[in-house]
Amino acid sequence: MNSNLENIKHAVVAGQHADIEQMVQKAIDEGDKLNEVINEALIGAMDIVGEKFAANEIYVPEMLVSAMTMKKGLELIKPLLTDEEAEYRGTIMMGTVKGDLHDIGKNLVLMMLEGAGFEAVDLGVDLSVEKVVEEVEKRKPQVLGLSALLTTTMPEMRKVIENLEERGLRDTVKVMVGGAPVDAAFAEQIGADGYGKDAAEAVQLAKRFAGA
Amino acid sequence: MDMKPDFERLRKAANHEEPDRVPLCEALIDYAIQSQFLGRTVTSDDLESQVTFWAEAGYDYLPLTVGMMQPGKVTRDSAISKVIREVMLRDSPDADREEAWNLELTSFIETREDFEKFPWDVAAELDFSAIEKAAALLPDGMKVIALSGKIFTLTWMLMGFNHFSMSLILDESLVADVFRKVAEIQFKGLERILKMPYVGAIWVVDDLAFGTGPMISPQAFRDHVFPWYREMAKRCHEKDLLFLMHSDGDLNPLMEDIIGMGVDILQPIDPSCMDIVDVKKHYGEKLCIAGNVSNELLRSGTVQEVEQRAKELLSKVAPGGGYCMGSGNSVPDWARYENYMTMRRMTLEYGTYPISL
């Protein structure tokens, strides 16, 4: 990796949002390959940010500023990409189930996925089973993430999976679940494809499911 | 078994002494559970029944919320929701829409201008009527614990969590000012509470951590939040009151800070991410700990499983004092009544010191 890419990567990890545009512009001007700037520097940096977050070396504020920094860099490159290059790596859809208004964890995962080059669709909170299934049918995501913070709303996750099966959509989408009261055993019990114990793990899981 | 309330029981546990038995400890027990216990409907404004419940169920105190989040969580009638609906949204056609006033769904302070125009004076008008009324209702030996001082949560809720988090790095002075305003209001309430002789403790109910660790960096807590708590603990101790703290999540990286601030009792030692035996081993001589019976167990476990868990806690954590029995969060309406009663019964039956399990 050349020094331009190293500098960009370091700036994203350190959240140097004021400097990133200048650094990315320099890389563009000096002829660095755009896909390398995106994949190796910007997205590569977010992988490090995810690892640091999982290890409690950084926390939500630092992660959000890194993501914002990455996004500013990406915005500069996007208009220069060809249609083929600009394609998303996949679509990942996430929401908090019916009866639950909590969305911090879900938002973190979405933001990280967007940073990783996915179309990250936020379905919102307090989602009815019908709404989730309707959106899956309409947008055909590779991965559906369901979040719950309340023990009482966990059964809604099972209902979504059952409904996807009834509508013949279950095989079209990988379902991952997460949230404070959820664990791997529960995920298996309700027939989910995976469980992420925190935002970083959920991102890794989503990337694996989406084949990225 | 002596069922009379005795606040000294809690004080002894907080001082790492063995009282007559392990105290029972919750910040919140849903009115549905209280109603079932008393065999009559208990409501939020029926203070007399609440006192009867907490005393007859074996608690040594009556918990009452005094502060901007009164009565304890974000509802239409929370003090802060009323400020938002009746002052900020007074002329808005959306004032009655939950999305417009519920701090879990929306936020109000994004800029310095928002901060300046927020109706802080109105928000500072706290309601002390319940806590004042309680004075005449308390049986001998029972005290009020005032649930107050929600500084961290209120600040991020007013700003929205994402915006608060970003601002902590990008506009730190704005965040510090919101913290200061919220803390000043909570301290104003505290001044009045500390003059009430029937108040035995202040209980800060303020979640600081996710299951995976602190919500912001330990250093950011030290810079913006913990100094307020330290001052609160100091003022409590000057008046011989206990200082309790509730926080969900994995607090391990913050334990030394929590002890250093002067917290007497930490609750609930979140069972989903903290090992209470380990906490007792490392910090048991400096800190009294409370709770840890998982809410999931209270919801879906069998009576035998709750019995077993209560016995484990009584035998492994209670010896030597410094432990109070309770849930891993609070006792919500969805907890199985018989499981709550089992946790309580086990404490009354097997929690007598010296523990012989």
Write the DSSP assignment of B75-88 as a string of letters: -TTSHHHHHIIIII
Structure confidence at residue A204 (pLDDT): 85
Residue pair B239/B201 in contact (Cβ under 8 Å)? The answer is no
Q: Which of B4, B101, B120, B73 is nearest to B246 (CA)?
A: B73
Residue A200 neighbours by CB under 8 Å, 6+ apart: A50, A51, A53, A54, A112
- DSSP-based three-state secondary structure for B290: strand
Q: Does A184 touch chain B (CB under 8 A)?
A: no
- The whole-angstrom distance between B30's CA and the closest CA on chain A is 15
- Pairing assessment for the beta strands B213-214 and B209-210 based on DSSP bridges: antiparallel
Domains of chain A: 3-80 (1.10.1240.10), 91-209 (3.40.50.280)
Give the confidence band of A149 by pLDDT, cuts at 50, 70, 90: confident
Instruction: Give the CATH fold of the B7-74+123-291+320-333 domain.
Output: TIM Barrel (3.20.20)
Residue A4 neighbours by CB under 8 Å, 6+ apart: A23, A26, A27, A30, A32, A37, A41
Residue count (chain B) = 357
Q: For residue A96, list its beta bridge partners.
A: A147
Share of chain B above pLDDT 70, in %: 93
Structure confidence at residue A85 (pLDDT): 72
State whether B170 and A151 contact (CB < 8 Å). Answer: no
Structure confidence at residue B19 (pLDDT): 97
Put residue A150 in one of left, alpha, beta given phi > 0 → left and psi -120 to 50 → alpha.
beta
Summarize pLDDT for B256-314 with one digit per residue, the tens. Answer: 999 999 999 999 999 989 999 999 999 999 999 999 999 989 999 999 999 999 999 99
Mean pLDDT of B63-80: 71
Residue pair B327/B293 in contact (Cβ under 8 Å)? The answer is yes
Summarize pLDDT for B185-211 with one digit per residue, the tens. Answer: 999 899 999 999 999 999 999 999 988
Distance in angstroms (rounded) separating the CA atoms of residues A8 and A72: 11
Average pLDDT, chain B: 92
What the block records as the tokens of B8 is 């000294």
pLDDT at residue A139 is higher than 80: yes
Q: Does A122 touch chain B (CB under 8 A)?
A: no
Structure confidence at residue A87 (pLDDT): 73
Q: Does A64 touch chain B (CB under 8 A)?
A: yes
Give the confidence band of B252 by pLDDT, cuts at 50, 70, 90: very high
pLDDT at residue B77 is higher than 80: no
This prediction's pTM: 0.86
Summarize pLDDT for A14-49 with one digit per residue, the tens. Answer: 999 999 999 999 999 999 999 899 889 998 898 899
* Selected residue of B97, B161, B164 to mutate for chain A interface (largest A Cβ count, 10 A): B161
ipTM confidence score = 0.87
Average pLDDT, chain A: 89
- The whole-angstrom distance between B112's CA and the closest CA on chain A is 19
pLDDT at residue B97 is higher than 80: no
Mean pLDDT of B53-70: 89
Q: Which of B319, B294, B300, B310 is nearest to B347 (CA)?
A: B310
Q: Residue A58's closest chain B neighbor by CA?
A: B217
Q: Out of B210, B220, B299, whose CB is closest to A151?
A: B299
| Displacement of CA B236 from its chain's centroid (Å) | 16
Q: For residue A119, list its beta bridge partners.
A: A91
φ, ψ of residue B56 to 5 degrees: the values are -70, -25
B104: which chain A residues are within 8 Å (Cβ-Cβ)?
A: 101-102
- The whole-angstrom distance between A60's CA and the closest CA on chain B is 6
Mean pLDDT of B216-233: 97
Low-confidence winner among A195-209, B52-66, B90-104, B209-223 (lowest mean pLDDT): B90-104
Structure confidence at residue A117 (pLDDT): 78
pLDDT at residue A207 is higher than 60: yes
B105: which chain A residues are within 8 Å (Cβ-Cβ)?
A: 101, 125
- So where are chain B's domains? 7-74+123-291+320-333
Q: Does A1 touch chain B (CB under 8 A)?
A: no
pLDDT at residue B121 is higher than 80: yes
Q: Residue A17's closest chain B neighbor by CA?
A: B170
